[in-house]
Structure 1
């Protein structure tokens, strides 16, 4: 996706470049952190907690700096955190259910 952002830049579509690049950063960090779930000797709770902390350190600041949200106060940053956590819980639950269904 970073390559797509670069192509958009060279095509002069500057308004699309930042969003595409931000999405590529998010995809990169989520994908890189997913290897935590391959650590078999850790409990699911430990893997999930470590994954959440990594997402909090990487994805949350990216969301704050992305320009996708208006941040005029600390309350706005808290709302973004709540959205971040809510989406994380939904995605974690969905992938947990899918893993249970397809692990037989």
Structure 2
């Protein structure tokens, strides 16, 4: 499939995605996702803005439009996602996690 095929996909047409949305979303499904996500996870104090702000904008807007279409069609179910934390210590004096229990979740 080429870019035009993705632009003409029924979901893209219903969501009224522009070519820029489709391009950004397709780009994000490649190894380029690491370059998009990286600055959010490890910000560079010498560069206060994201190196690809327009790409991030179109990814965000494209996902929002597709989610809205999915919700209207009844194709979205509520999912709860849990995120772990790293470099965190548990201090028995400050945290009841060990005493009261906690949650570990994975996504299917």
Normalization by structure 2: what TM-score?
Answer: 0.29
Which one has the bigger helix percentage? 1
Which has the larger Rg? Answer: 2
* Larger RCO of the pair (alpha carbons < 8 Å, separation 6+): 2
